């Protein structure tokens, strides 16, 4: 299932520090389109974001992330909280980034994975 977005309905564009547009926010979803062969991490297999980009998306009301692989049409979904809680930070010549392993993402029509809350409201 390929997600299509109405760009006019976006509340905000999300940009890197250099001003380049990375994606947009529609409702409470930050979405970004990439080519997996070029933009997914290989070691470990993951999807990564500039730290300031994911923080900007959350600050602008996004609760979820959707990444469309333009090569396959697959959509990867997760909550932004999951990216922060289960992600790993690194720097590989492109500034500080946060990556979330591919097995932490829902794919295609599955709803986003949410961390189960305990009785006391803490993440699992």
Q: Could you tell me the two tokens for 17?
A: 């520090």
Which pTM does this prediction carry? 0.78
The answer, yes or no, to whether residue 116 has pLDDT greater than 50, is yes
Give pLDDT tens digits for 74-86: 999 999 999 999 9
Q: Cis link prior to 12 (omega < 30° from 0)?
A: no
Domains of the chain and any CATH numbers: 28-107 (3.40.1350.50)
CB neighbours of 58 closer than 8 A, spacing ≥ 6? 80
Q: Which residue has the higher pLDDT, 93 or 63?
A: 63
């Amino acid at each position: 299932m390929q997600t299509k977005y109405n760009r006019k309905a976006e509340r905000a564009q999300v940009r890197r520090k250099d001003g380049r547009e990375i994606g947009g926010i529609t409702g409470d979803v930050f979405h970004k389109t990439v080519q997996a062969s070029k933009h997914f991490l290989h070691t470990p297999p993951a999807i990564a974001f500039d730290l300031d980009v994911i923080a900007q998306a959350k600050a602008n009301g996004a609760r979820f992330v959707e990444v469309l692989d333009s090569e396959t049409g697959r959509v990867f979904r997760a909550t932004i909280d999951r990216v922060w809680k289960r992600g790993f930070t690194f720097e590989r010549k492109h500034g500080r980034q946060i990556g979330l392993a591919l097995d932490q993402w829902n794919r295609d029509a599955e709803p986003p994975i949410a961390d189960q809350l305990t009785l006391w409201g803490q993440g699992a």
